[in-house]
């Protein structure tokens, strides 16, 4: 099962993709996480992309397409994958289609998280993650069960993303409107898009996604791995 999560910054793509990863045993592929890992490691690529990301712009299609092609060929993707943050431009969407067709594969469903943009800044500004295992939290909407202790690995260290400043969120939203939203007709024409109300609470959004996937499976458009 090959899935795409689409939606603006802060829509909940990562939150829901991680849950589907655990539920279905297929990997979440977050291109944002991959780029941040490169930047953190100080690789040549990481140095090249860090400034772009910190300002909220998009990294080049060429870099992203090469990175994704290498990632989906890894053995853990044999039963499928969940894309979170890719594709983000029409060029990326078309390249993904061609890449999968050459591997006799395809996208099974696109889960579009519909959100009120006014709420996104608050969601993003309140977000933080465990520094050790990457589990995501929020100051108001998703706090650890024991304050200051990660639910998953017990770490006491948390980090906030450099691009989660309010002024950068504006640029990221502009990039979504200008470059990413235009790819929706491409997937709608294929009948793959499931509209999900991303403004509901996290558990309600999860249930809506499960319902959409069950419907797609019943209709034969999603083949469960």
Beta bridge partners, 146, equal: 149
Nearer to ligand AP5, 80 or 89 (CB): 89
Q: CA–CA distance from 41 to each of 36, 84, 111, 182 (Å)?
A: 8, 21, 31, 33
d(CA 72, CA 26): 11
Known catalytic residue: 142?
no
> Cβ 56 to ligand AP5, closest distance in Å?
5
Annotated catalytic residue within 19, 36, 88, 123 = 88
Residue nearest to ligand AP5 (CB): 32
Known catalytic residue: 172?
yes
Nearer to ligand AP5, 5 or 222 (CB): 5
Known catalytic residue: 217?
no
d(CA 224, CA 198): 24
CA dihedral (24, 117, 190, 91) positive or negative: negative
Known catalytic residue: 127?
yes
Residues that bind ligand AP5 (CB under 6 A): 7, 9-15, 30-32, 35, 52-53, 56-59, 64, 85-86, 88, 92, 123-124, 126-127, 136, 138, 141-142, 163, 172, 198, 201-202, 205
Known catalytic residue: 13?
yes
Helix, strand, coil fractions of the chain, as percent rounded to 5: 50, 15, 35
| Active site residue ranges | 13, 88, 127, 161, 172
């Amino acid at each position: 099962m090959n899935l795409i999560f689409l939606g603006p910054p802060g829509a909940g793509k990562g939150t829901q993709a991680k849950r589907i990863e655990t539920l279905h045993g297929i990997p979440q592929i977050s291109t944002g996480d991959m780029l941040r890992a490169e930047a953190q490691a100080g690789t040549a690529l990481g140095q090249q992309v860090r400034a772009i990301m910190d300002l909220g712009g998009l990294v080049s299609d060429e870099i992203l397409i090469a990175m994704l092609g290498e990632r989906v060929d890894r053995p853990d993707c044999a039963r499928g994958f969940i894309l979170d943050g890719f594709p983000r431009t029409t060029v990326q969407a078309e390249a993904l289609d061609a890449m999968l067709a050459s591997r006799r594969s395809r996208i099974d469903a696109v889960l579009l998280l519909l959100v009120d943009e006014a709420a996104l800044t608050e969601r993003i500004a309140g977000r933080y993650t465990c520094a050790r295992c990457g589990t995501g939290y929020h100051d108001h909407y998703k706090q650890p069960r024991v304050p200051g202790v990660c639910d998953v690995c017990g770490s006491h260290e948390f980090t906030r993303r450099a691009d989660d400043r309010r002024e950068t969120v504006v640029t990221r939203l502009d990039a979504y409107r200008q470059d990413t939203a235009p790819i929706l007709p491409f997937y709608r024409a294929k009948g793959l898009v499931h509209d999900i109300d991303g403004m509901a609470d996290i558990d309600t959004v999860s249930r809506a996604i499960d319902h959409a996937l069950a419907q797609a499976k019943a209709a034969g458009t999603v083949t469960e791995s």
